[in-house]
Amino acid sequence: MNPVLFAILVVVTTSLMGSSFAVGKMGLAYFSPLLLVGFRFTIAGLLMAIWVRKKPLPSSLGDWGKVGLIGFLQTAAVMGCIFLSLRTITAGESSILTFMNPLLVVVWGTIFLGMKYRFTQWTGVLIGIAGVFITLGFHLQWETGTLFGIGSAVSWSIATILVKKWGIHFNVWVMTAYQMLFGGLVLLVMGVTLETPKMIVTPTSVFIVLWLAIMASIVQFATWFYLLNQGDPGRTSAFLFLAPFFGVLSGWLLLDEVVKWHVYVGGLLIFAGIFLVNWTFAAKRQSQVPVTHN
């Protein structure tokens, strides 16, 4: 894939991913948390399902089950764990835990897909995690929400491996549409059973939901899945370290949150970690075990 195009798509998807935290925080003034993300992904899934109606759909019940499992892990479990974690830990701490995903992707890729990563690549992942930790404030407390935060990272990393293993057998837009629709419906059920529903309909709240559904979901997920299918999932997932950095910047732009000096230090480490993972990958790519479709 053309490196310039790859870089542009990485910036697009990670900036949309990161900014969704700030936009979502604005939406919490109008909706209860799980209901908000439920609407977000259900609307996104329905719009995309209409758009891809003429494209090839999964051909068997087993294939639909795979898409549903990806939707449960990538959308329902990740977003559900994130918002449940926010009951006892801060958004920054939740983000730190969620974006441990790339390290877990490397672990799962090594164990289950037979992928080989150099020592320097592992070092780059750890430096990136350190950068995220510093960017979001140097502190992390062990609370009940910590387990949910870890759960979001585990769910996301497993979904990433499944997308890499199964995604090439589906149209990327079809998979994106139906995994979001399935995950969104699960979140709506969670929204009316696990919390007291709140919904205030105004032009601003409608705009927020549509932005989250179209730009931060349809565009972001489709771009992310496309990038995953273009190369090594551990290498691609390393760029997720950019998402919390963009999250902090969007909080500064949209919510007037103060950007402190540690954000810049953490940002430098994030970029250093990404460089190490990608530079060693490009310099010497280890042999990988072929992935077969079951």
pTM of the model: 0.74
Max intra-chain CA distance, the chain: 55
| Domain residue ranges of the chain, discontinuous segments joined by + | 3-283
Burial class (CB in 10 A: 0-12, 13-18, 19+), 88: middle
Q: What is the pLDDT of residue 258?
A: 66
What would the pLDDT profile of 181-204 be if each residue is shown by its tens digit? 999 999 999 899 888 889 999 999
Please indicate whether residue 120 or residue 177 has the higher confidence score (pLDDT).
177
Whether residue 290 is predicted with pLDDT greater than 60 in this model: the reply is: no
Share of the chain above pLDDT 90, in %: 19
Q: What is the pLDDT of residue 261?
A: 72
Whether residue 180 is predicted with pLDDT greater than 70 in this model: the reply is: yes
Which of 14-23, 78-87, 208-217 has maximum average pLDDT?
208-217
Q: Which residues contact 202 (CB under 8 A, 6 or more apart)?
A: 30
Q: Hunting for tokens 């329902």 — which residue is that?
A: 76
User: Where are the alpha helices (H) located in 28-100, listed in sequence order?
Assistant: 33-51, 61-71, 78-85, 91-98
Which two structure tokens, joined as six digits, stand for 66?
């795979």
Whether residue 82 is predicted with pLDDT greater than 60 in this model: the reply is: yes
Provide the residue count of the chain: 294
Compute CA 176 distance to the chain's CA centroid, rounded to the nearest angstrom.
13
Whether residue 219 is predicted with pLDDT greater than 80 in this model: the reply is: yes
**Amino acid making up residue 113:** L
